């Protein structure tokens, strides 16, 4: 989270995750967004548990900018 300016914890099947990724692609095309697709990782559930501890939610997407939790898609847009 602190190693990248923008980090999005996502799931490949989630429409809200897709909307968040599109938001950054459309509005900040020159920014590098580190996307972590939790449903494709063996440790995805553990990461979601960590996100719950850190943000109070384990749902996706979870967006961090400069290490700060922004929230989900509705919080971003």
* Position 77 confidence tier, pLDDT thresholds 50, 70, 90: confident
pLDDT at 65: 97
Specify the pTM: 0.94
Cα–Cα nearest to 47, from 28, 34, 33? 34
In tens, the pLDDT along 45-62 reads 999 999 999 999 999 999
DSSP states along 5-72? SEEEEE-TT-HHHHHHHHHHHHH-TTS-EEEEEGGGSTTHHHHHHHHHHHHS---S-EEEETTEEEES
In the chain, where the domains are located:
6-76
Report whether CATH 3.40.30.10 matches the domain 6-76: yes
Structure tokens that stand for 76 in this block? 């971003």
* CB neighbours of residue 67 within 10 Å: 11
**In terms of C-beta distances under 8 Å and separation of at least 24 residues, what long-range contacts does 48-54 make, across chains too?**
48/9, 51/9
Tell me: the pLDDT tens digits for 6-58?
Answer: 999 999 999 999 999 999 999 999 999 999 999 999 999 999 999 999 999 99
């Amino acid at each position: 989270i602190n190693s990248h300016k923008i980090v999005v914890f996502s799931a490949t099947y989630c429409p809200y995750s897709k909307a968040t990724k599109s938001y950054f692609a459309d509005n900040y095309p020159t920014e590098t967004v580190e996307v972590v697709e939790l449903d494709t990782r063996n440790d995805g559930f553990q990461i979601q548990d960590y996100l719950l501890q850190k943000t109070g939610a384990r749902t996706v997407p979870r967006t961090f900018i400069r290490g700060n939790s922004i929230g989900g898609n509705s919080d971003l847009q």
